[in-house]
């Protein structure tokens, strides 16, 4: 059991959706939360990252800083998705080793798994097959991050762990149509179509791929739970254990938003991986389960969108 009480906890990437959820969640722990702005620490630069870490002396780190984006952003910016993520994780994980940080959690994503992994995907499916081409750049970087944690554990006994969340959604998400993930994209499209009185909205691909979704506040709660209780090599899946098709998701979002028009498919856009439901067994066996139901979660995010972005 690792106690966060009285500890200096650095949330790297605190302005992102996951990082900000971690900051919210850590407020109920008796710890001192550290954050670094881009001006204070350039996480892609080793010297800048190390200097910031040396002066702020974190006891533990949640590594939630990353270049993230949806299927189109991944396809458009492969160099940044690979380079930025490799640099950020290498600088922080190596820095944590150099400074003797007590505990570090690296956050990845379900896209680390082979495109055709048996479903639901258990942790041991890692590196058993080819990746989904639309996000292999990001996936390769995230696999490297898991292996960095395991390597420093094996060679130096560092208590570095990895958690792989499923597709996350929540307040603070990116609602930009070109770079966002599917959930915020559909919320925005349905909302704007409702305002315009449009007949239809257009979703990318066939609508048949299945995706699993987890509210980011559930994810943050799982991460804090793992930080306290998990200390081993190998990553842990963080998911809801349930998935639905993109068409079903679109219908649900339209119902919540109150848009009653048609759903049209843009077949020039990629489907990506057909399915990536992760097994939730390992995390469940550690006594954690999600609390936020998908429909309620989408309703609260739509409310957040109306208040902050619409």
Residue 18 contacts ligand GDP per CB under 6 A: no
- Least distance (Å) between residue 50 CB and ligand GDP: 32
> Cα–Cα–Cα angle for 181, 301, 75, nearest 5°?
5
Using CB under 6 A, pick the residue from 205, 239, 290, 297 that binds ligand GDP.
205
Any contact of residue 228 with ligand GDP (CB under 6 A)?
A: no
Place of tokens 């949640």: 62
Q: How far is the CB of 173 from ligand GDP (least distance, A)?
A: 11
8 Å CB contact between 122 and 279: yes
Q: Which of 138, 169, 230, 302 is catalytic?
A: 138
Nearer to ligand GDP, 18 or 185 (CB): 185
Q: Which of 211, 215, 225, 235 binds ligand GDP (CB under 6 A)?
A: 211
Sole residue written with tokens 């990746």 = 131
Closer Cβ to ligand GDP, 20 or 135, answer by number: 135
Q: Which residues of 66-93 are buried (b: 16+ CB within 10 A; e: fewer)?
A: bbbbbbbbbbebbebbbebbbbbbbbbb
In the complex, the smallest distance separating the C-beta of residue 71 from ligand GDP, rounded to whole angstroms, is: 4
Residue nearest to ligand GDP (CB): 70
Between CA 67 and CA 81 the distance in angstroms is 6
Residue 9 φ/ψ, nearest 5 degrees:
-110, 120
Bond before 24 cis per omega within 30 degrees: no
Sheet holding 236-238, edge to edge: 32-34, 8-12, 60-63, 103-107, 160-165, 236-238
Question: 19 or 69, CB closer to ligand GDP?
Answer: 69
Residue closer to ligand GDP (CB basis): 60 or 249 = 249
Of 14-22, 54-62, 200-208, 256-264: span binding ligand GDP (CB under 6 A): 200-208
Mask for 109-148, x = binds ligand GDP (CB under 6 A): --x-----------------------x-------------
Q: Please state, in angstroms and rounded to a whole number, the distance separating the CA atoms of residues 16 and 119.
A: 29
Question: Per DSSP, what are the bridge partners of residue 27?
Answer: none
For ligand GDP, the binding residues (CB under 6 A) are: 70-71, 111, 135, 167, 180-182, 185, 203-205, 209, 211, 246, 269-272
Residues forming the active site? 138
């Amino acid at each position: 059991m690792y106690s966060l009480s009285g500890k200096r906890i650095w949330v790297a990437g605190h302005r992102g959706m996951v990082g900000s959820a971690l900051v919210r969640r850590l407020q109920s722990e008796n710890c001192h939360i550290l954050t670094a702005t881009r001006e204070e620490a350039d996480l892609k630069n080793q010297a800048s990252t190390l200097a910031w870490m040396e002066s702020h002396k974190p006891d533990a780190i949640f590594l939630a800083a990353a270049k993230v984006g949806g299927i189109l952003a991944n396809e458009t910016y492969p160099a940044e998705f690979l380079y930025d993520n490799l640099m950020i994780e290498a600088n922080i994980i190596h820095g944590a080793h150099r400074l003797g940080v007590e505990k570090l959690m690296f956050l990845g994503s379900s896209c680390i798994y082979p495109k055709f992994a048996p479903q639901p995907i258990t942790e041991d499916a890692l590196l058993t097959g080819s990746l989904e081409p639309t996000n292999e750049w990001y996936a390769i970087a995230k696999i490297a991050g898991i292996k960095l944690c395991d390597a420093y554990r094996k060679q130096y006994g560092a208590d570095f762990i990895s958690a792989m969340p499923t597709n996350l959604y929540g307040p603070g998400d990116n609602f930009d149509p070109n770079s966002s993930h599917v959930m915020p994209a559909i919320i925005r499209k349905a909302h704007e179509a409702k305002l315009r009185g449009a007949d239809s909205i257009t979703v990318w691909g066939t609508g048949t791929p299945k995706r699993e979704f987890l509210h980011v506040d559930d994810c943050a709660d799982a991460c804090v739970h793992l930080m306290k209780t998990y200390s081993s090599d190998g990553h842990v899946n963080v998911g809801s254990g349930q998935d639905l098709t993109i068409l079903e998701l679109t219908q649900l979002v339209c119902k919540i938003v109150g848009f009653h028009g048609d759903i049209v498919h843009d077949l020039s856009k990629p489907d990506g991986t057909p399915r990536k439901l992760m097994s939730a067994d390992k995390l469940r066996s550690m006594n954690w389960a999600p609390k936020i139901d998908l429909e309620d979660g989408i309703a609260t995010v739509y409310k957040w969108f109306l208040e902050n972005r619409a």
